[in-house]
Amino acid sequence: MLLLKNADVYAPAATGRADILAAGGRILRIEPGIRLPQAYVEEVDAAGLIAVPGFIDGHVHITGGGGEGGYATRTPELLLSDAIRGGVTTVVGCLGTDGITRTPAGLLAKARALDEEGLSTFMYTGHYAVPVQTLTGSIERDLLLIDKIIGVGEVALSDHRSTQPTFEEFARLAAEARRGGILSGKAGIINVHMGDGRRGLSVLRRIIEDTEIPATQFLPTHIGRNPALFEEGIAYAKAGGLVDFTTSTVPAFLDEGEVKCSAGLRRMLDAGVDAANITFTSDGQGSLPDFDGQGRLRRLDVGRVTSLFAAVRETVRTEGVPLATALRVITANPARILKLRGKGVLAAGADADIVLLDAESLEIDGVIAKGRWLMKGRQPLVRGAFE
């Protein structure tokens, strides 16, 4: 049993100072003054630390991604230590542009490997292309028969790298994902890669307007990619749609007009967007390609899961967003949207995924996943099998 004493608890709402008792991978009690015989418990004084839910990164290329610049630009797989340093205890793996040398079967194997190493893992079926490449022959079967598959993605729209799906093709894809989600009790959500194209969110808006499929079936990501898409995203989210910011970026993207996550969250909240409709994801291990006006690759960088909480921290310290609000975009919101039960909250019965933050600096001090210490006193305690 693990007993954290005197922590300042954000669940993610601020609930005050309390003790947290965990055992068997779950939280048993959160209340002040918990006392147990020392023989039965590891007791840790968490005074001066803020206890928050373990972070959920809902868009990570865990098997690597990229290849837009040729074979040598294929990015590497996610390392366990990167997730630990970023406070990420739950990962949703996805494929991107490459669905040939990166496959759903490989994604599932990597998800199970990270699960064995201490994280909680899920995945999307498919990649940029429509029709969607699946494991079992259909989206519905994947959702119903494979435990870790919770949705579809990332499927590309408004991007020169997409397969340019028609409205009818994308609506049919959404319908199959919805049926599979309903039957399996999963989110069945479609993670939508948004490119720079002038069509923006028009396909999603038309599906919502012209069919019975609700806006909550889609999670368009990279919403801050350019000012026009960002402004369209504000209107889309105010109408009930979900939007996701990508925390991995490079100075060149920001110079070219990408809206920084911290400023983007602040601006959306000021515009009246419900905070519950916003998430952050890292695009970890994905390639960050910069193409010129003719679609030629100019430079390539790699996304990092460590950018996830760094962006939240900047939102609090630079943009003045309350910590409880900022935390929601990487805890409670993705847990609810993706139907990840037991995740994203600190509460009795929830999974014992806990991140401890220094109360002054908001730096990550400790990471607990499924009740097990992965980092303690800013020192990683666990590494991946081949690190």
Domain boundaries of the chain, sorted by first residue = 2-52+342-380, 54-337
Instruction: Please determine, for residue 289, whether its predicted confidence score (pLDDT) is greater than 80.
Output: no
Nearby residues of 166 by Cβ (< 8 Å), 6 or more positions away: none
Average pLDDT over residues 93-121: 96
Give the model's pLDDT for residue 151.
98
What's the whole-number average pLDDT of the chain?
A: 95
Average pLDDT over residues 19-38: 95
Give the model's pLDDT for residue 39.
84
The DSSP call for residue 293 is: T
Instruction: Please determine, for residue 81, whether its predicted confidence score (pLDDT) is greater than 90.
Output: yes
DSSP letters along 31-80, please? ETT----GGG-EEEE-TTEEEEEPEEEEEE-TT--B-TT-GGGBPPPPPH
Average pLDDT over residues 124-143: 96
Matching fold, domains 2-52+342-380 and 54-337: no
Can you name the residues that pair with 19 across neighbouring β-strands? 31
- Which of 3.20.20.140, 3.40.50.300, 1.20.1050.10, 3.90.1300.10 is the CATH number of 54-337? 3.20.20.140
- Which of 2.40.10.340, 3.40.50.720, 2.60.40.1180, 2.30.40.10 is the CATH number of 2-52+342-380? 2.30.40.10
Active site residues: 283
Question: How far are the Cα atoms of 61, 87, 293 from residue 303, in angstroms, in the given order?
Answer: 9, 16, 23
d(CA 209, CA 324): 34
Instruction: Report pLDDT digits (tens) over 311-341.
Output: 999 999 999 999 999 999 999 999 999 999 9
Instruction: Report pLDDT digits (tens) over 119-132.
Output: 999 999 999 999 99
d(CA 213, CA 324): 31
Average pLDDT over residues 150-158: 96
Instruction: Please determine, for residue 218, whether its predicted confidence score (pLDDT) is greater than 70.
Output: yes
Give the model's pLDDT for residue 53.
98
d(CA 207, CA 216): 12
Percent with pLDDT over 70 in the chain: 98
Give the model's pLDDT for residue 80.
97
- 384 Cα distance to chain centroid: 21
Average pLDDT over residues 287-307: 79
Question: How far are the Cα atoms of 27, 128, 190, 296, 377 from residue 75, in angstroms, in the given order?
Answer: 37, 16, 23, 19, 31
